[in-house]
Structure 1
Amino acid sequence: MSVIQGILLGILQGVAEFLPISSSGHLDVAKNLFGLGDVPILFDVLLHLATLAAVCLYFRRKIWELLKTLARWIAQKQADENEKQNRRMIIAIIISTAVTGVIGIATSKLIPNLSVKYVCAGFVITAILLIFSAMIEKRNESKIKPAGNPKSPVSAIQALFIGFMQGVGTLPGISRSGSTIAGALFAGVDRKVAGEYSFIISIPAILGAFILEVKDLEKVSQTIGAAPIVAGCVAAFAAGYISLTLLMKIIQKGKLQWFAAYLIPAGIIGMIFLR
């Protein structure tokens, strides 16, 4: 792999990780077009770690707030109302992560055997999820909602479903952010909370994937080389932060279904022409 290819794959990862179009799926398609069939999956995970750094930077205040709440909780300090909400979110994160972990371990054995045609089919599935989530959210907004805080924490039941949808998003071609945000909207979570929660629960999910694949760290450095890896990770971080900033604005407008206009034709073209 050349440094230029590493940078291009990093930019693609950074853009596709946060925009709901599937980063793993686009990386598979790009590697197919570049003729890079022998790239270890750990390279993809390293690019995911770079975009994870973008998540930590963007949500640094919320993450720090949750960490402080967790420390006070462990120390058995008395919690005010804000900390009680944070504690409920921490419980939800643990539930979602556990469900995703179980599904992720199962799909990790399936991922290397999927052809690029199945990956492209995942683009179409992601588009359908985005369209249906927009329809359901619009229907929910048309109903009279009871008074309350729209930014209330994710419930345990909602966390179970969101964790399942994030697990589905571990399959190449199915966007993790798209399926997770769609799952949150399906479950009735406020769209701003859905976006924030989706990316915060990506932190343990990506770290878990890295732990599963870290055994191949020496192999990936020998196969690819240090320079393409570093260049790709830097590009993924920069592109990822910009994409995340853009997506949070799109989520606020409730326009995630826009991406279906790209995913459906891209998926169909890929299923027809790629091997």
Structure 2
Amino acid sequence: MVEYLQAIFLGVLQGLTEFLPISSSAHLRIFPELFGWGDPGAAFTAVIQIGTEVAVLLYFWRDIWRIARAWVLSLFKPEHRGTLDARMGWYVILGSLPIVILGILLKDVIESDFRNLWVIGTTLIVLGVILGIADRVGRTDREIKHLRLRDALLMGVAQACALIPGVSRSGATISMGRFLGFDRAAATRFAFLLAIPAVVGAGLFELQEISHVGEAAPGEAAYGWGPTITATIVSFLVGYAAIAWLLRYVSTHSYRPFVIYRVVLGAAVLSLLAGGVLTP
């Protein structure tokens, strides 16, 4: 029963933090350590991420289908090449290249040095401040239809920074979008679309770990298939709700609550590390 309760909590944590600009990787590293549960491990994490991947695909299926269809048609019919959806297809593809390339090149560093809690606590604060500044100084005169290739590439580079736990894929992309003058709704929507290849690709890349569910390395928690599947279902339900809520929220609110939360959490992590309560 304890394993199932832990799995439900971690599923909620994954579902909420995958799409909010507060970093899912940071939360899945911090809270199990804080509660003394041990690292959930790569296999467990890889499986429950499938839940949030399905959530984003299901929520945006109309956009995905429309963009994919327009992009394919544009390859063969010149009259489709100037449409927003056709261009959006190229923007998502090209904007995804930085995180793919750096993810492959830095895989070992990402899974070791970058998971240090000193790094995570610091990036939570630094990127929180950057998000706050971007939201305050960024213009709001550009909508999604104003997106250009340069914008997509810059937002793709920003997204790649999320390979460091604590940065947040959506937080980094949204920050760049706001600096580029996009309104909150446009920056958030493109951040979600741009995340689809990265999230799905990462999930497929980590499928090799699924066979190790229930096994645990030293310092890791061993969750069997029952708790793992439970966490996956929970992450899907919570993740779907989080996407819908955030897209509605940003149409009328600023990102200030997320900025404050990131700074407070980062400061708490660094304080607990300094006090010896947490180990890096």
TM-score range with shorter-chain normalisation? 0.7 to 0.9
Match in the other structure for 1:206: 199
> Contact conserved, 1:107 with 1:171, CA < 8 A, in 2?
no
> Contact conserved, 1:14 with 1:235, CA < 8 A, in 2?
yes
Q: Deviations over 1:36-84 (max 9, x none)?
A: 4353324323322211221122222211211221332344374286xx1
Structure 2 Cα separation of the partners of residues 118 and 252 of structure 1: 32
Higher RCO (CA 8 Å, separation ≥ 6 residues) = 1
Match in the other structure for 2:188: 195
Q: Deviations over 1:80-125 (max 9, x none)?
A: 86xx111111111111111111222234322332322321222112
Would the alpha carbon gap of residues 226 and 70 (structure 1) be closer, same or farther in structure 2, given more than 3 Å must change? Answer: same
Structure 2 Cα separation of the partners of residues 132 and 45 of structure 1: 33
Match in the other structure for 1:259: 258
Match in the other structure for 1:68: 69
Would the alpha carbon gap of residues 153 and 86 (structure 1) be closer, same or farther in structure 2, given more than 3 Å must change? Answer: farther
Over the aligned positions, Cα root-mean-square deviation in angstroms equals: 2.1
Match in the other structure for 1:21: 22
Match in the other structure for 2:149: 156
Give the letter for the 1:135 counterpart.
R
Structure 2 Cα separation of the partners of residues 88 and 242 of structure 1: 29
| Structure 1 segments of 4+ aligned residues over 4 angstroms from their partners | none
Structure 1 Cα separation of the partners of residues 127 and 47 of structure 2: 23
Would the alpha carbon gap of residues 107 and 255 (structure 1) be closer, same or farther in structure 2, given more than 3 Å must change? Answer: farther
Single out whichever of 160-169 and 67-76 deviates more from structure 2. 67-76
Give the letter for the 2:149 counterpart.
A
Identity %: 28
Structure 2 Cα separation of the partners of residues 188 and 15 of structure 1: 27
> Contact conserved, 2:51 with 2:236, CA < 8 A, in 1?
yes
Structure 2 Cα separation of the partners of residues 90 and 221 of structure 1: 39
Give the letter for the 1:100 counterpart.
I
Q: How many positions carry a matched residue from both structures? A: 265
Would the alpha carbon gap of residues 234 and 187 (structure 1) be closer, same or farther in structure 2, given more than 3 Å must change? Answer: same
Would the alpha carbon gap of residues 129 and 44 (structure 1) be closer, same or farther in structure 2, given more than 3 Å must change? Answer: farther
Q: Deviations over 1:5-56 (max 9, x none)?
A: 1111010111111221111100101221243435332432332221122112
Structure 1 Cα separation of the partners of residues 39 and 235 of structure 2: 21
1:172 and 2:172 equivalent? Answer: no
Alignment of 1:73-84 (within 5 A): 73-76=74-77, 78-79=79-80, 84=83
Would the alpha carbon gap of residues 80 and 22 (structure 1) be closer, same or farther in structure 2, given more than 3 Å must change? Answer: closer
- SS of the aligned residue for 2:238 comes to helix
Q: Under a length normalisation based on structure 2, what TM-score does the superposition of the two structures give?
A: 0.86
Match in the other structure for 1:108: 107
- SS of the aligned residue for 1:2 comes to helix
Structure 1 Cα separation of the partners of residues 204 and 247 of structure 2: 28
Structure 1 Cα separation of the partners of residues 251 and 161 of structure 2: 24
Structure 1 Cα separation of the partners of residues 270 and 247 of structure 2: 30
Unaligned runs of 5+ in 1: none
Match in the other structure for 1:246: 245
> Contact conserved, 1:85 with 1:153, CA < 8 A, in 2?
no
1:85 and 2:78 equivalent? Answer: no
Match in the other structure for 2:220: none
Q: Under a length normalisation based on structure 1, what TM-score does the superposition of the two structures give?
A: 0.88
Structure 2 Cα separation of the partners of residues 80 and 158 of structure 1: 18
